[in-house]
Amino acid sequence: MKTEKPTKLIQLLDDLISETEKINVGQIYIAVVEETNRIKFLETAANPFSETVYKNLIRLSIKDFIHSGRAIDSIEVIREVMEVISQAEIIAE
């Protein structure tokens, strides 16, 4: 089983916080959901969180970002989520 870092997911989240067009934000959100469905987060000694925790953390941070009207605090939360998931290992399904 080959593991990797969730680089595509991190890039999509970065694209999300950089995007200014509402229609594109919706498309990126869909791409993030598709990517989280495609990958599986591995629970390791270095990353003790379950897959459910990672996926819900991502989804909730995006919902907060969208519903807050792109508030600075919400952007910071997504950046923190990106930092957390950058330490995770995934396998693509």
Q: Is 19 a member of any domain?
A: yes
Q: Is 2 a member of any domain?
A: no
Predicted confidence at residue 48, as pLDDT, reads 78
Q: Is 17 a member of any domain?
A: yes
Q: Is 1 a member of any domain?
A: no
Q: How many domains does the chain divide into?
A: 1
In order of 3, 9, 25, 62, 84, the CA distances from 67 in angstroms are 34, 21, 12, 9, 22
Mean pLDDT for the stretch of residues 46-60: 90
Predicted confidence at residue 4, as pLDDT, reads 92
Q: Which domain holds residue 54?
A: 7-92
Spatial distance between the Cα atoms of 57 and 7, rounded to a whole number of angstroms? 17
Spatial distance between the Cα atoms of 67 and 90, rounded to a whole number of angstroms? 28
| Cβ atoms within 10 Å of 28's Cβ, excluding its own | 20
Give every CB contact of residue 45 below 8 A, 6+ residues apart in sequence.
none
pLDDT tens track for 14-42: 999 999 898 999 999 999 999 999 999 99
